[in-house]
């Protein structure tokens, strides 16, 4: 492939996606924690396309924001009128004229396309002597797909299903939609496309016939059917999710991660799992998770926007929310929720705890039922706990508050003031014991009558 600086990728993301039946544009629906258009952008970036344009529909600031977030240098263009795919590509005419070696057309709803496939398409027109390169696949059921009609030196034509003869409909080699155009001929081909169809639209596949009529060759770049899968409805969205989850699981397994039941583990595209990580069944990794070597993620845990240190243990039934940083060899047990908090090396929160907006030192133990009271209804506040501290069970730490190194907090305390290092803090009511009170309570007439009625109801229902 020639220098990446001479390649332009144009992502078409202007479709309305009515079959999604959603208030959200189709290209913002997610697969593996990333939007559909994000997958297309990521593939183009990985393929080395340094010039990127995304064509969006009118009045879609939400799509424009997503593009700006993922590719700040990309050019965002609007297709004010939906006049077909060739018309959409021509919204980038000013960029096409800048002399790129290859112009690559992608779609914002095909999230499974690999970077190496994009490179192969570009290479076919920059080094292969072809004017065009078209993505194709062998379909198990070709109904509805455009058929690729092959000749001795490449693709002769693309025949849409409705226009195909019976013999052509038996062809299983189908059009995958993506296309690369040689830079010196791209604009002339696109401008030569006519809207000579019932829809009065300009279709990108017509470039094939135009190139062949000009004596140019059109190459085929063939992929597996699943890679070319596009998303038009929620069923296809789920199908893409299945494919990419399988890819991600296999990738991590081959990189030294153990998954006891891989089919029950759900990963995001950016999930980082170190060597010898053990993942038990029914774990969900949302976006932005990194897990260090030798850590164990027990069953039914959910992690998002969190980092986990080497040899730490998480769960079962733990929830790590964004901003969580767990140190090496730390332990987060069952039914513990952590948000925007840092736990130092060897710290423990073993069960039934909420820690939010907190910094907790190394080797500190957080007892069961402890909560950091970080929100007053308007603002969030921070709890700071030093190293080697001990927080007794069922304690409420009312932020902002600091508990020093080595300090103890007695069980059941409500801590509202700072606790010095190595001090003991107790903040709870004194226990009162009234001997014989229970017997007297039970002997009161109204309680005896209630007990009699309750017994009668029970006997009557037997």
Q: Got the DSSP string for 1-64? A: ---GGGEEEEEEE----GGG--SS-GGGSEETTEEHHHHHHHHHHHTT--EEEEEE-TT-HHHH
**39 is an active site residue:** no
Ramachandran angles phi, psi of 287, nearest 5°: -60, 150
- Set out the domains of the chain in order of their start, with CATH numbers: 4-228 (3.90.550.10), 246-425 (2.160.10.10)
pLDDT digits (tens, 9 = 90+) for 186-209: 999 999 999 988 788 999 999 999
pLDDT digits (tens, 9 = 90+) for 300-335: 999 999 999 999 999 999 999 999 999 999 999 999
Query: How many beta carbons lie within 10 A of that of residue 303, not counting itself?
Result: 29
Q: Place 286 in a pLDDT band, splitting at 50, 70 and 90.
A: very high
Arithmetic mean of pLDDT, 129-136: 97
Active-site choice (39, 298, 302, 351): 351
pLDDT value, residue 445: 82
Q: Place 460 in a pLDDT band, splitting at 50, 70 and 90.
A: low
Angle between helices 115-126 and 36-46 (to 10 degrees): 50
What does DSSP assign to residue 298? -
pLDDT digits (tens, 9 = 90+) for 160-194: 998 899 999 999 999 999 999 999 999 999 999 99
Is 124 exposed, middle or buried, given 0-12, 13-18 or 19+ CB atoms closer than 10 A? buried
């Amino acid at each position: 492939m020639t220098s990446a600086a001479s390649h332009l990728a144009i992502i078409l993301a202007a479709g309305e996606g009515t079959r999604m039946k959603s208030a959200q544009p189709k290209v913002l629906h997610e697969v593996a924690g990333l939007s559909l258009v994000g997958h297309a952008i990521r593939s183009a970036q990985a393929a080395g396309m340094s010039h990127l344009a995304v064509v969006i529909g009118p009045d879609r600031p939400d799509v424009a924001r997503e593009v700006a977030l993922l590719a700040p240098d990309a050019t965002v263009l609007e297709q004010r009128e939906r006049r077909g795919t060739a018309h959409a590509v021509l919204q980038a005419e000013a960029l096409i004229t800048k002399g790129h070696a290859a112009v690559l057309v992608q779609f914002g709803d095909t999230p499974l396309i690999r970077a190496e496939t994009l490179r192969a398409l570009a290479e076919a027109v920059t080094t292969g002597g072809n004017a065009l390169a078209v993505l194709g696949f062998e379909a198990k059921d070709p109904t509805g797909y455009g058929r690729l009609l092959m000749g001795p030196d490449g693709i002769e034509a693309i025949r849409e299903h409705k226009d195909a003869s019976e013999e052509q409909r038996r062809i299983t080699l189908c059009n995958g939609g993506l296309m690369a155009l040689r830079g010196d001929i791209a604009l002339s081909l696109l401008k030569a496309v006519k809207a000579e169809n019932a829809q009065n639209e300009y279709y990108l596949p017509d470039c094939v016939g135009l190139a062949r009529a000009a004596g140019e060759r059109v190459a085929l770049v063939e992929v597996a059917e699943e890679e070319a899968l596009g998303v038009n409805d929620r069923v296809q969205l789920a199908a893409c999710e299945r494919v990419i989850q399988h890819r991600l699981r296999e990738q991590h397994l081959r990189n030294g991660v153990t998954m006891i039941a891989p089919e029950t583990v759900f990963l995001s595209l950016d999930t980082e799992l170190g060597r010898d990580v053990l993942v038990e069944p029914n774990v969900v990794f949302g976006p932005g998770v990194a897990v260090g070597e030798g850590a164990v993620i027990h069953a039914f845990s959910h992690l998002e926007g969190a980092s986990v240190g080497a040899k730490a243990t998480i769960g079962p039934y733990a929830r790590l929310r964004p901003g969580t940083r767990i140190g090496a060899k730390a332990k987060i047990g069952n039914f513990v929720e952590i948000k925007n908090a840092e736990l130092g090396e060897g710290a423990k929160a073993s069960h039934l705890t909420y820690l939010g907006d907190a910094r907790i030192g190394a080797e500190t133990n957080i007892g069961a039922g402890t909560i950091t009271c970080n929100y007053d209804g308007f603002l969030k506040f921070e709890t700071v706990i030093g190293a080697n501290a001990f927080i007794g069970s069922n304690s409420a730490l009312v932020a902002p508050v600091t508990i020093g190194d080595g300090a103890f907090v007695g069980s059941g305390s409500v801590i509202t003031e700072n606790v010095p290092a190595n001090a003991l803090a107790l903040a709870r009511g004194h226990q009162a014991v009234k001997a014989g009170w229970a017997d007297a309570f039970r002997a009161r007439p109204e309680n005896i009558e209630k007990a009699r009625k309750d017994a009668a109801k029970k006997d009557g229902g037997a």
